[in-house]
Amino acid sequence: MSTLSKNFEPAQVEEQWYQHWMNKRYFHSTPDSRKPFTVVIPPPNVTGVLHMGHTLNETVQDVLVRKARMSGFNACWVPGSDHASIATEAKVVQLLEKEKGIRKADLTRENFLKHAFEWKDKYGGIIYHQIKKLGCSVDWERATFTMDEHYYQAVIKVFVDLYNKGMIYRGARMINWDPAAQTALSDEEVEYKDIQGKLYYVKYKVADSEDYITIATQRPETIMGDTAVCVNPNDERFAHLRGKQVLVPLVNRAVPIIFDEYVDPAFGTGALKVTPAHDINDYNLGLKHSLPIIDTLNADGTLSAAAEVFVGMDRFEARKAVVAQLQEEGLLVKEEEYSTRLGFSQRTSAVVEPRISTQWFVQMKEMAGKALGAVTSGEVKIHPEERFMATYKYWLENVKDWCISRQLWWGQRIPAWYDADGRFVVAATESEANQLFQTTFGQPAGGTLTQDEDVLDTWFSSWLWPMEVFNGITQPGNEEINYYYPTNVLVTGQDIIFFWVARMIMAGMEYKNERPFEHVYFTGMVRDKQGRKMSKSLGNSPDLLELIERFGADAVRFGILISAPAGNDLLFDDSSCDQGRSFNNKLWNALKLVKLWEANGIAQYDRNEEDFRKAAFAADWFAARLATVREQVEKMYSEFRLSEALKTIYSLIWDDFCSWYLEWVKPPFGQPIDGHLYSCTLDYFEQLMQLLHPFMPFVTEEIYHQLRERADGDDLTIRQFEPVAESIGVERDAVLAQGELLKSLITAIRDARVKNQLKPKDSIKLHVQTAAEANYSLFEGLLLKQVNAEAFSFVQDAVAGSIAVVLGTDKLYLETEVQLDTAAQKDQLLKDLEYQRGFLISVDKKLSNERFVQNAKPEVVEAERKKRSDAEQKIKAIEESLEALG
């Protein structure tokens, strides 16, 4: 026997097996006659490292893909990464300033992009390295980046197509502005948080009067952009001010008092300052009343020249300065604490500013209708449906047009071309644009064409992901898109249900007239022990590579999955990885035990049929358990209950195989093991490793190869699952019931030994009083060995002077020569009797409730009745045992 290490050492095998799988190209897929199982990885941003949310996501995908590959499917899992316009540009700008002293403003666009690609080449591989270390079986030959040439062209092609269909337009609208990144954001890129703010009550002087109107505002720094004050026409307090003007504080600009029912007289002071440039509702009021727009903020969030005061000051510093100035001029009435919701940029965490800006938009209503229908019809199935279906529907039913332009350089540049006269056309190339000018305007472009400076929202590229990874946009109808599309399942986080999932369905319905995937499985949010979302800013997310170094990849995969109920948030603690490491060592010790038996020799014993059946009971029982669990796990896979599947497999291996089965078949010390049992044990061990492999690929592959010599290519990662052994249900149920009885007997007898201070070496004689003697026939010898009993018999009456044990309706009597403490026995039986009587009262109470009996399912009521019957029989058995003890 080769020498096995004391514990499983993951570092020694992970690199070896992953490289072996790669050398064999097991993860590479090409179209063939098999049914495909296609998964596209949600492309992580190229900007950094995988966090625990990614770890959960990639592990779930790998489990599904490995299971499909081992079940006869042509599994294709496409990896890739996203260029992440805002985040990556910020990283590159920061790096250039910090390390090279170069400001973005000092670079040409071409030079900046050269630096950005250099950064991507240097740091982009970090994520791929982590995915490999985690053991993910992705097809690396298909790795795609959203700025690859073909992908770039696909995005441009779609933009041009949607523009030509009238679904993309350019216009000035109120949008969300990120002052830190200095770019527009879509509504979905703004995170709203409840915060404690302040209301400032400010006096506005009525022109040509000594009167004032008091107005409450959260944003005094925008006062200089006011172009009206609005009150409700039905508010008698302000009726005398019709046709009047007020003077805007600090700048003394006269603006009209307007009347509109939009204002709630009961809110605040009943008067509203109208700042069309800095609030969407004010903007709409301004359009209605033809108010001018004064933008008092620069793109970076400082006050512009239009503010007239505090020009160049940061908006939040300006707030303090404005409040101080108002107070000095006697215009600040009071300040009040105020609970409000504030929007923050997802990418930079900057407070978002509403801003009027000329941007590009996609009309969403028509596409949203198709995407909604695909899900409500069941064409695309959401898991867990009960948690996310309502959210998905609400967003699509209330969808707004999508702002897709970003004021950045990193990304796909908008294919709009402008001439010197300000006219523009949309075309994929400059030459096509020149031709379009002639066609559209009847004359050539005026002067040299310039391309739009903006790039497209990152999500405008990633919504094409399931198609363009197979060149489905640039080469529609090619063999691969026809074979692999639609994909089978998308595994992703609930936080991008709008950004990505809904939009991918829109794109799929628009360009393939087909759903992009059949199933969407939303993982939960990974949180720390305190319930906080794991994030880099909080510093509470562990480093994946450090976890793998400490525990091994299998243990990390185990740790994240065992904690992850379907769709629900999970509290992650590295103690679950420690549990995974212990599981690895449990498997390793089981391997060492089996290899020790092999080293001690294998014997072929002669036995008649009855003896053979008795000796083979443990093997028959475990075969039934294994078949049952495989059926359960298959159902769990179909319902995406992967955490439950892992727990079920874990229990089967730890409890049933290691704790029971291996003990039952273990040969006496120094004796060879029976050949039939040893062969069964190897077969079961292999099947268990196959069942566990999708979850923990490294340790299972290593043990699989340690169990027997393997031919080249006989690797667990591609070993195909055989159909679950078909045995008559009643027959399997009977074997399982006998196995449960045997476990209960062994446990009860061992507990009785401990309670009565019998040492394990103290032999006993076992007597059983039962109405079902046949239940004991198959495992009698095994039972004697497990409890160190020298004899076994059935009796009709209590055995005097023995230890009495009640097990269900059966009574066991342990006869021993050791002096017994009958008082202790009586005390224990009385405790058991008290418990059973209390239990019976609770069951009777439930069954006497007419509402319960009428409304509960019949099987539930029947289960309660069986509990009552069992309790009554147990009480009777305990009372008889007490009587026997006197």
Q: What are the binding residues?
A: 536
C-beta separation of 177 from 299 below 8 A:
yes
Contacts of 383 (CB under 8 A, 6+ apart): 519, 520, 521, 522, 566, 567, 639, 640
C-beta separation of 569 from 596 below 8 A:
no
Please count the residues of the chain: 886
Between CA 737 and CA 789 the distance in angstroms is 22
Count of CB atoms situated within 10 Å of the CB of 648: 18
With CA atoms as reference, report the closest residue to 382 among 502, 515, 519.
519
With CA atoms as reference, report the closest residue to 319 among 218, 201, 213.
218
* CA angle at 542 for the pair 559 and 58, rounded to the nearest 5°: 55
Strands (E), 554-695: 570-571, 602-603, 673-674
Instruction: Report residue 560 as tokens.
Output: 């994240």
C-beta separation of 491 from 521 below 8 A:
yes
- Rounded to the nearest 10°, the torsion over CA 608, 613, 615, 620 is 150
| Partners of residue 815 on adjacent β-strands | 765
Give the sheet arrangement for strand 517-523, strand by strand: 381-383, 517-523, 487-493
Between CA 422 and CA 498 the distance in angstroms is 35
Between CA 127 and CA 143 the distance in angstroms is 12
Residue 837, amino acid? R
Count of CB atoms situated within 10 Å of the CB of 519: 16
3-class secondary-structure state, position 814: strand
C-beta separation of 579 from 559 below 8 A:
yes
* CA angle at 612 for the pair 606 and 615, rounded to the nearest 5°: 110
Contacts of 279 (CB under 8 A, 6+ apart): 222, 354
| DSSP for residue 297 | B
| Partners of residue 11 on adjacent β-strands | none
Instruction: Report residue 50 as tokens.
Output: 């995988």
Q: Hunting for tokens 């212990």 — which residue is that?
A: 582
Q: What is the DSSP string of 160-209?
A: HHHHHTT-EEEEEEEEEEETTTTEEE-GGGEEEEEEEEEEEEEEEEETTS
Residue 550, amino acid? R
Between CA 494 and CA 701 the distance in angstroms is 33
Between CA 574 and CA 581 the distance in angstroms is 11
* 132 half-sphere exposure, CB direction, 13 A CA radius: 16
Q: How far is CA 109 from CA 84, 94, 874, in A?
A: 17, 16, 84
The binding site for ATP consists of: 536
Q: Is 828 left (phi over 0), alpha (psi -120 to 50) or beta?
A: alpha
Residue 56 burial class via C-beta count within 10 angstroms: exposed 0-12, middle 13-18, buried 19 and up: buried
Kindly calculate the radius of gyration of the chain based on its CA atoms and give it in whole angstroms: 37
In this structure, the strands spanning 416-418 and 450-451 are: antiparallel
What are the backbone dihedrals phi and psi of residue 36, each rounded to the nearest 5 degrees, phi first? -80, 150
Q: Hunting for tokens 């992953």 — which residue is that?
A: 18
With CA atoms as reference, report the closest residue to 839 among 870, 884, 883, 795.
870
3-class secondary-structure state, position 79: coil
